[in-house]
Amino acid sequence: GEDVEQSLFLSVREGDSSVINCTYTDSSSTYLYWYKQEPGAGLQLLTYIFSNMDMKQDQRLTVLLNKKDKHLSLRIADTQTGDSAIYFCAESPPTGDSSYKLIFGSGTRLLVRP
Amino acid sequence: DAGITQSPRHKVTETGTPVTLRCHQTENHRYMYWYRQDPGHGLRLIHYSYGVKDTDKGEVSDGYSVSRSKTEDFLLTLESATSSQTSVYFCAISEETSGNTYEQYFGPGTRLTVT
């Protein structure tokens, strides 16, 4: 079956870089995603990467994709206290239609210490 | 903001009662999804819809049914609620206006407690 795995917790100091890691299982997933969830809120789409790319940068966010190892990472540069949240990795296995049924990891809680 | 609202935002109900959760969107998106979020499991897909009256099952569909009689509304029904259905339920849509159906945006969630 499909299973996306993430470490449960990461603590960093404000101003440092954070790296959140994820492994996924379906090598045919077309897109891989990172979502952010703040307490009591819904999920916010942070960024995503197409499976034929190795890297995507968007301001303070850098996504690295290693298809051979099915490993995805999210690097947050200059981490701020407002980045404290739960971060979810998700993959999108092919479905045969135009829908995208995301498979989520269980989330990594990022704590940014002042 | 993808114009998604969910109602109610919080509900407490008793075991065995029917419950319907509503997801409403204002931007004519074709694809709508229902997920549940539980500690240690992330989000899991319950059902999804690819158009009016067109729905299909997700990973954890047992005990749930859905209906979509209008583009803007996607209803999730628990015919007879059980304590294992205590969860936070999220609706999502796929952004399609720019052809990007792979971008999913989520509503604020409904916290359901079954006692």
Distances (CA, A) of A12 to A18, A55, A114: 7, 23, 9
Does the CB of B50 have a partner CB in chain A at under 8 Å?
yes
Residues of A whose CB is below 8 A from B59:
101, 103
CA pair distance B5, B103, nearest whole angstrom: 18
Q: How confident is the model at residue B40 (pLDDT cuts 50, 70, 90)?
A: confident
What pLDDT sits at residue A1? 43
E runs forming strands in chain A: 5-6, 9-13, 18-23, 31-37, 43-50, 55-58, 61-66, 71-76, 85-91, 103-104, 108-113
Sign of the CA dihedral running A17, A70, B105, B35 = negative
Interface residue B3 vs chain A (CB under 8 A): no
Touching check for B106 and chain A: CB below 8 Å? yes
Across chain A, mean pLDDT equals 92
Confidence of residue B15 (pLDDT cuts 50, 70, 90): very high
Strand A5-6, strand A55-58: pairing? unpaired
Average pLDDT for A87-107: 86
Are B94 and A45 an interchain contact pair (Cβ–Cβ within 8 Å)?
no
A23 touches chain B (CB under 8 A): no
Q: Which of A40-49, A58-67, B17-26 has the least mean pLDDT?
A: A40-49
Strand partners, A18: A76
pLDDT category of residue B96 using cuts at 50, 70 and 90: low
Contacts of A107 in chain B (CB under 8 A): 42
The Cβ-side half-sphere exposure at A96, using a 13 Å CA radius, reads 1
Report the residue of chain B nearest A108, measured CA to CA.
Answer: B42
Across the interface, do B31 and A44 touch by the CB < 8 Å criterion? Answer: no
Q: Is the pLDDT of residue B60 over 80?
A: yes
CA distances B95 to A1, A33, B83, Å, are: 27, 14, 33
Of the candidate ranges A17-26, A30-39, A70-79, B90-99, the one whose mean pLDDT is the lowest: B90-99
Q: Which amino acid is at B110?
A: T
Phi–psi pair at A83, nearest 5 degrees: -85, -10
pLDDT of B42 = 87
State the sign of the Cα–Cα–Cα–Cα dihedral A40, B4, A94, B36.
Answer: positive
- Counting residues of chain A whose pLDDT is more than 90, the rounded percentage is 76
Mean pLDDT score, B6-12: 97
pLDDT tens track for A5-39:
999 999 999 999 999 999 998 888 888 999 999 98
The confidence band for B1, taking pLDDT boundaries of 50, 70 and 90, is low
Cβ atoms of A11 and A114 within 8 Å: the answer is no
| Distance of alpha carbon B56 from alpha carbon B31, whole angstroms | 11
- In this prediction, residues B111-115 reach a mean pLDDT of 97
Does B104 lie at the interface with A, CB-CB under 8 angstroms? Answer: yes
- Is the pLDDT at B98 greater than 70? The verdict is no
Residues of A in contact with B102 (CB under 8 A): 30-31, 48, 92, 100
- Considering chain A, what percentage of its residues have pLDDT values greater than 70? 96
- Is residue A25 a contact partner of residue A70, using CB atoms and an 8 Å limit? yes
Distance CA B77, CA B18 (A): 7
Under DSSP, the state recorded for A100 is: -
Answer whether B43's CB lies under 8 Å from B35's CB: yes
| Chain A touched by B99 (CB under 8 Å) | no
